[in-house]
Amino acid sequence: QVQLVESGGGLVHPGGSLRLSCAASGFTLNDYAISWFRLVSGKEREGVSCISRVDGTTYYADSVRGRFATSKDNAKNMVYLQMNNLKPEDTAIYFCAITDGLCKWGQYDDWGPGTQVTVSS
């Protein structure tokens, strides 16, 4: 039932921008908090951003605050992550995931397959 599919990743130079999209289906988007995570091989996954299910408040990791912005369109069942001023350390696979709990403390059982972002000269 629940399906999440990321898109929009690619190769970009440092300082460039990308917009990631997450297409959601099989559930009502505004009933869930939705987060972006990223994963680098051999490292622990990192939470990037979250949109609260309670009031739509957005949260960001310190490493991306001021550069990234997340948003959603409930009517279109789409979630976005606008990434500006990209840095090499942003290189990772990016995933969207949902929880019916709180952004940071909820259990994320449903994930998309991920999209690769590579920032390199």
DSSP string, 25-90: ESS-GGGSEEEEEEE-TTS--EEEEEE-TTT--EEE-TTTBTTEEEEEETTTTEEEEEE-S--GGG
Which residues does residue 58 pair with via DSSP β-bridges, in sequence order?
51
Assess whether pLDDT exceeds 90 at residue 1. Answer: no
Query: What would the pLDDT profile of 44-76 be if each residue is shown by its tens digit?
Result: 999 999 999 988 999 999 999 999 999 999 999
pLDDT for res 75: 92
Query: What would the pLDDT profile of 75-113 be if each residue is shown by its tens digit?
Result: 999 999 999 999 999 999 999 999 999 998 889 989 999
pLDDT for res 105: 86
Amino acid letter, 96: C
Nearest to 94 by CA among 108, 106, 83: 83
Amino acid letter, 6: E
Amino acid letter, 105: W
Dihedral of the alpha carbons of 91, 96, 99, 104, in degrees to the nearest 10: 20
Amino acid letter, 109: D
pLDDT for res 60: 97
pLDDT for res 44: 94
Mean pLDDT for 28-33 is 92
